[in-house]
Structure 1
Amino acid sequence: MPGSRLTRRDRRVIATGLVDGLGYAEIARRLARPTSTISREVTRNGGRASYDPDTAHRATKRRVRQRKPGAESAARPHRRPETVRAVERQLAATLIGTGLPKMSARVLAALLTTDDAGMNAAELGQHLRVSSSSVSKSVGYLEGQGMIRRERITQRRVERYVVDPDAWFQAFLASAQRNHQLADTARRGSDLLGRTTPAGTRLHALSRFHQQLTNDIIERARHWRHALTEPPPGASSTRA
């Protein structure tokens, strides 16, 4: 059943699918599960390259045993709606400050601060009090940036939008790619102008700085992507 926990057999199907190079969506279709369930399961258990079904199954059972009674209700305390709205507004303003378009920032902030798994277009429009066309343009932009993805809800025959588990990692990679392009352009310019000339020296220094900084960022991003897949102590684990 879609709402039940993954079984050991389910996890072996996931492992086989990963070995065969299948995407999360195809594996989810074969198990009649949401795509987010598969991506979350793989991410929290070593990623595509290191996923082991038996190890993952034991780890899940261990987390269930360690979960204290009432932990789930404690993790979702009663909050005043205006408090949630204030956090959402502050987050949207900060995202706008990073260069994200205003409506896309509002959509992303709404998806980040909801306790639901995601929101469909109608729910986003009602929540933000905007037109469906505004929501459509914004989710299209966020999808293109790899920050959210759409998920099919078969029972309701609608699609909802969710924040991708790898959203920030992908955003860092996209930024790193732009830095690599700048480094390459500066290096080529330095070679053409001559590295011993004042202009060539400046371009060479620019190229080395961006190249090294970008490599360091990618390395650390990959490290923390793996290290932070487990929920923090005391947090309730979302059902797989």
Structure 2
Amino acid sequence: KMFGGKLKFKKGLKKPKVKHHKKKKPKDPLEEQRKVMERFQREVLGVKEEEQLCGKKRKREEEQPEYETQSVKEGEGEILVSHTTVHGFKTRFKEVLEAGDTLIVKNPEVKEGEDEEERVKISMVLSDKSMGIEKPLSFVPKEKVTFKYQKKPVLKEEEKTFEDFLAEKKKERKREIKEDEKKKYTVVEVREKTGMWGYKTKKIKVKGQLSREEILDIRAQAAGDKTGI
């Protein structure tokens, strides 16, 4: 019956509930494997949660490239610095340095106890005796001075896994097989006459390794067969 615009059921009757079936998302096998590994490390190995190797945070950190700082070395020869230009005397800038490296010069004007060395990045290397720096030094050397330099950081080589080792061995084996196959046959190029003036090159595959004399014999035989000798 209808009362006040609202639908009501007779006594003993209930409004049927509509069931909404939720679609289950397919499980990610990699995610499941990660969870199993985390549980194993936590419960069996006693590894703390923040130290777990398969954690997402740890994974992101591992994906970031690592750089290796280079050591400071003594420069060869002497230099004069004018604003952002460096002039070298008996130097080998082009051979040793590049943009991004650091030039290190001792400042004779600093007080005792302060940092005597001033560092500035190299912006360009023009020749063995001329290069540019990103900004002027805080002092102007009045005469030629010695210098040091530090190469820019280099990307650390990733540690090779056992899978990488196997992949390299597999590639190496393929190369060896390919080389062995080449040794089993010798390809001899023979010229054949086509028409009145033309020639074409034909490749003949012969089993085994042939000497120069044997190759010449095959070419002579092929030429003789064509001319009817």
Structure 1 length-normalised TM: 0.22
Please identify the structure whose Cα radius of gyration is greater: 2
More RCO (CA 8 Å, sep 6+): 1
Point out the structure with the larger strand share: 2
Structure 2 length-normalised TM: 0.22
Point out the structure with the larger helix share: 1
